[in-house]
Amino acid sequence: MMNRKHHWLYHAILCGAALLASIAPSLAQQKSDTKSGVPQTLISTAPQHLLFGINLGVERALSPKFSLGADLTTHLWLLEMPNIAISPMARYYFSGTFGSGFYAQVKAVAGSFFGTTTALGKPYYAGGGVGCGFLRPIGNSGRWYLGAEAGLKLAFPFGPDNRSVGGGEWGIAYYSLLSPASIPELSIRIAYRL
């Protein structure tokens, strides 16, 4: 039986491996448009997640208009129900180009609560959604980007009912409004071009 103290570490390692596996095809591809100066890879974060944990995203251009990426989000502190989630996504820039324009996105999410309590009594959740957003370069260096995104997603809890429900109404509000599985998704995004 796995030691409960280190259970979160195993989940973090597995989610990190899943993040790398989800973006590996795009990282293995040759640069698609080297003459246009289009940034090829962006590393980003959503600062609002710092209240509960860490968010790290990677986005790789497949063309000037299309990209693949993934976010790894951990909510580890200030909660009695810590969790970790991975969110692979595909974006199409319908105005501008990769890293500098408005985009539409399709996103999936899969996560796990790894404490003894969960928001809805089930240890796992998975689902998907759609959204839109923008990224704009800031500063003179051309390496920093700022943006925002909005979307809707639906993630269903699943798994055995062997965990206690935590937080009562706060637990349900957290799951549906603030967690990586939240139904509305409103976020600010800060990105850096590699």
Over the stretch 82-96, which tens digit does the pLDDT of each residue have?
A: 899 999 999 999 998
| CATH code: domain of residue 106 | 2.40.160.20
Other beta carbons within 10 angstroms of residue 11's beta carbon come to 18
Give residue 152's domain range: 4-193
Helix or strand (DSSP H, E) at 20: helix 7-28
Helix or strand (DSSP H, E) at 104: strand 100-113
Q: How many CA atoms lie within 13 A of 55 on its CB side?
A: 20
Token pair belonging to 190: 């800060």
Rg of the chain over all Cα atoms, to the nearest angstrom: 17
Mean pLDDT, the chain cut into blocks of 10 residues (194 residues total): 50 58 52 54 91 93 94 88 93 92 96 82 92 92 92 92 72 86 92 92
Token pair belonging to 148: 């925002």
Q: Count structural domains, the chain.
A: 1
Q: pLDDT tens-digit profile of 4-33?
A: 544 555 555 655 555 555 555 555 444 444
List, in sequence order, every residue forming a beta bridge with 43; answer none if it has no partner.
58, 192
